[in-house]
Amino acid sequence: MSLSINDVYKVARLARLGVTEQEAQTAHAQLLTIFSLIAEMQAVDTNGIAPMSHAQDITQRLREDVVTEHNQRELFQAAAPQIKKGLYLVPQVIE
């Protein structure tokens, strides 16, 4: 498994991270180390073992379908840069 410097830029763009060339180089080197660890793990024989999707082998607790939250709009919107008519305002996005 190999990772190119272009892959690093692509992932950074998808995550909306601005990286300098130096940072990209560093991240590239670090990610290659992680990839080699993954390669090492993939060499292990896991036949017949169910894959885990969480680090802990336990399952989800559920909550009852009950409304427990009340309106705290004013409190939450106190932290918003811009609001109008109860809406959060953001720079325009048009598809």
Partner 1 sequence: MQWEIVIGLEVHAQLSTSSKIFSGASTAFGAEPNTQACAVDLALPGVLPVLNRGAVERAIRFGLAVGAHIAQRSVFSRKNYFYPDLPKGYQISQFDLPIIGQGSLTIQVPTTTTGQTYKKVVRLTRAHLEEDAGKSLHEDFHGMTGIDLNRAGTPLLEIVSEPDMRSAAEAVSYAKMLHTLVRWIGICDGNMQEGSFRCDANVSVRRPGAELGTRREIKNLNSFRFLQQAIEYEAQWQIDTLENGGTIHQATVLFDSDKGETRAMRSKEDANDYRYFPDPDLLPLAIDNEWIEQVRGTLPELPLSKQARYIADLGLSVYDADTLTSSREMADFFEATLNEAPKEAKLCANWLMGDVSASLNREDRDITQCPISPQQLGGMLKRIADGTISNFAAKEVFKILWSNGGNPDTIIETKGLKQMSDVGAMEAMVDEIITANPVQVAEYRCGKEKVFGFFVGLAMKASKGKANPAQMNEILKRKLAG
Interface positions with partner 1 (CB under 8 A)? 10, 13-14, 16, 53-56, 58-69, 71-73, 76-77, 82, 84-95
Residue 49 or 67 having the CB closest to partner 1: 67
Residue 47 or 71 having the CB closest to partner 1: 71
Please report how close the Cβ of residue 42 comes to partner 1 at its closest, in angstroms: 17
Residue 40 or 95 having the CB closest to partner 1: 95
Please report how close the Cβ of residue 5 comes to partner 1 at its closest, in angstroms: 17
Going by C-alpha positions, the residue among 6, 32, 42 that lies closest to residue 21 is 6
Size of the chain in residues:
95
Neighbours of 7 (CB within 10 A): 12
Do the Cβ atoms of 27 and 61 come closer than 8 Å?
no
Which of left, alpha, beta for 48 (phi over 0: left; psi -120 to 50: alpha)? left
